[in-house]
Homo-oligomer: A and B are copies of this chain.
């Protein structure tokens, strides 16, 4: 990374705020074009917007100093973890400073007896699990990317394990936050439950940097199960696959993972990761528990799937096989992109009540077929959550976006009509801000009141999530 500063640019900018930040941070302040560009974009197709400068913080205290300087000069602040968000969360729409926390990458404590830990915001999910590898514990939340835990908290991320272990909402116990006026506060406690005061932790989970900067995260951990087994099951129809997952959830079988990949996505994965799965709608399962409890769960699910026209289970019990399987699933986005070389991905997701999932997926599939476009679908179907990836040719955006946009709009309209949400796990950023009114109605006004109360100058990631 090029951290060097173009001093000429800085001096001539006459920007006292940037001068003060430079004085505070020295070589951890950058205005280089490449650094700024890299920090203005995420993994989505949404138009990037580079910040005026990037600062690299190393502690909560330093973040507080940075915020105080920015507030003094009314300069917007955009927090940045790994830049793997999907709705334009990090674009500097109103200029300002990008606050990169990737250097805050220490695991501060692991409390094995309490099944919890405390990490700095820049620690990534894989780094945490690597740190835990000899402890018998793991952290289950797994969005596709190796995102930072601060970013995952800010976007209320989830992933394949959420059906069993919950999302960041359920797994963040407490936070350290730098408020919009530069105070350092701690929310939550290490106790498993509390009735003492407003749930500030949950208010910051999913707030996308619009209320303050998350600098440390207290997380729940789980014991590595005694037994784990994974299986793959192909179906003749999309409906059979979806109904299998619905029945599994309705029966309360505590599957650890239940993932849908449609035939387009399976084909993509076969090519990208060298698998030879039948090119059919497919479920990937994982079961966690004791040896006998895992067997019992798997038997129950096998019975359901065979009634829905599922093939025999193809097992992956050895750790290496399982890892390959889930790596392929986590790389679904990259596999999808390879279906159309040179394309940019526009991934989108919605989430509906499980009883409406089959209807929502089948309507969506029909809508895609009628469009004639190639759009792979994957889903955390145990949660009622599924994703499409629109493959956009960046050389031809102006022509192609108008083809995909109506599909996206109808997808959201369909999910809301069925009692669902415009995003299950990707968040709002600026990519979905136009749907907030339709989803929230009058309660959006409360969100505005909270935003104004905690960030009266609108300096915290302005232009994201809350239409003001």
How close is A393's CB to chain B, nearest CB, in angstroms?
28
Copies of this polypeptide in the complex:
2
How close is A171's CB to chain B, nearest CB, in angstroms?
11
Query: Chain B contacts of A184 at CB under 8 A?
Result: 442
A447 lies within 8 A of chain B by Cβ: yes
Stretch of A75-83, A100-108, A197-205, A327-335 on the interface side: A197-205
Expressed in whole angstroms, the Cα–Cα distance for A186 and B195 within the complex equals 23
Expressed in whole angstroms, the Cα–Cα distance for A360 and B27 within the complex equals 48
- In the complex, the chain B residue whose C-beta lies closest to that of A205 is B199
Asked if A185 and B427 sit within 8 Å, CB to CB, the answer is: no
List CB contacts (< 8 Å) of A153-194 with chain B.
Answer: 155-158, 162, 167, 169-170, 179, 183-187, 189-194
Asked if B421 and A191 sit within 8 Å, CB to CB, the answer is: yes
How close is A114's CB to chain B, nearest CB, in angstroms?
4
A465 lies within 8 A of chain B by Cβ: yes
User: Which residue of B116, B290, B465 contacts A197 across the interface (Cβ within 8 Å)?
Assistant: B465
By the criterion of a CB under 8 Å from any partner CB, how many residues of chain A are at the interface? 88
Asked if B193 and A351 sit within 8 Å, CB to CB, the answer is: yes
Expressed in whole angstroms, the Cα–Cα distance for A372 and B150 within the complex equals 49
- In the complex, the chain B residue whose C-beta lies closest to that of A352 is B191
A223 lies within 8 A of chain B by Cβ: yes
User: Given contacts A191-B384, A223-B252, A353-B191, are A196 and B428 in contact (CB under 8 A)?
Assistant: yes
Asked if A191 and B424 sit within 8 Å, CB to CB, the answer is: yes
User: Which residue of B179, B197, B293, B443 contacts A439 across the interface (Cβ within 8 Å)?
Assistant: B197
Asked if A191 and B419 sit within 8 Å, CB to CB, the answer is: yes
Asked if B441 and A186 sit within 8 Å, CB to CB, the answer is: yes
Task: Give 1 or 0 for each of A13-24: 1 = CB within 8 Å of chain B CB.
Answer: 000000000000
Expressed in whole angstroms, the Cα–Cα distance for A296 and B292 within the complex equals 9
* 27 A-B contacts (beta carbon < 8 Å): A113-B246, A113-B355, A167-B193, A183-B445, A185-B441, A186-B441, A186-B442, A189-B420, A189-B439, A190-B353, A191-B424, A192-B354, A192-B385, A193-B351, A193-B425, A194-B423, A195-B423, A195-B425, A196-B432, A197-B444, A198-B211, A198-B447, A199-B199, A202-B202, A223-B251, A292-B296, A450-B453
